[in-house]
Amino acid sequence: MGRLGEAVEAVVRVIAQLRGPDGCPWDRAQTHASLVPYLLEEAYEVAAALEEGDPDRIKDELGDLLLQVLLHAQIEAEAGRFDLGDVADSLREKLVHRHPHVFGEAKAETPAEVRNRWEEQKRREGKGRDLARPALLAARKYLEGGGEKVRGHPYLTPPARPPGDPQREVGRLLLAVCSLAHAWGVEPELALRRQLQELEG
């Protein structure tokens, strides 16, 4: 086994120990649902590190994001459903399947052609719903779509005339909502995602 395999196996053992009977109380208490806010936060921190371009910070933030993947895989391994190896196998199969221009006979000469092929394959698989986006972006896309569920809805019909500085007012309202969510012990990202699911249902 090479250094990469050894490093991955070592960190998987650490995660298993953290969630084991004599491990960390915090890690043992986590569930898929409780970890979602941390997963989102770490993904945004990776994005910020990539924009900054500092290799040390990128490495550190990628490690934090990998921790989330490992924790979710460990939870499933404990339930006997799948483990990190199954996750890796599934990813490998997906990459090969969605890159027939590399692993098969199909042709794709430009990044745009590759992206179009990828998106078409996702549509065939029934994936790529708007709710896979951050909740605020998903909400904006939902409202742009209009439809009967939007028109006439009591809190989806804002005043026609915006205030003097619409961006500032929206920012203040969003901050107020986050303050309310914090006071009530609610994760605002998940609350908005749940509301969108109810509207789409």
- Mean pLDDT of the region 166-174: 88
Location of structure tokens 């992206």: 115
Would you state the pLDDT for residue 7?
Answer: 96
Average pLDDT over residues 157-166: 75
pLDDT attached to residue 152? 64
Residues with Cβ within 8 Å of 141's Cβ and at least 6 positions away in sequence, in order, are 130, 133
Query: What is the average per-residue pLDDT within 146-172?
Result: 74
Helices (H), ranges, the chain? 3-18, 25-29, 32-52, 55-78, 84-97, 100-103, 111-124, 135-145, 166-184, 188-200
Mean pLDDT score, 51-68: 97
Q: How many CB atoms lie within 10 A of CB 124?
A: 8
Whether pLDDT at 125 is above 80? no
Q: How many residues does the chain have?
A: 201
Looking at residue 73, what is its pLDDT? Answer: 98
> Among 16-30, 36-50, 91-105, 186-200, which stretch is predicted with the lowest mean pLDDT?
186-200
Range with the poorest average pLDDT among 2-16, 28-42, 162-176: 162-176
Q: How confident is the model at residue 70 (pLDDT cuts 50, 70, 90)?
A: very high
**Mean pLDDT value of segment 40-51:** 92
* Predicted confidence band of residue 154 (pLDDT cuts 50, 70, 90): low
Is residue 190 within 8 A of residue 138, CB to CB? The reply is no
What is 3-97's CATH superfamily? MazG-like (1.10.287.1080)
Lowest mean pLDDT across 91-95, 108-112, 162-166: 162-166
The residue ranges of every structural domain in the chain are 3-97, 130-200
Confidence of residue 133 (pLDDT cuts 50, 70, 90): confident
Of residues 24 and 187, more confidence is placed in 24
pLDDT greater than 60 at residue 128? no
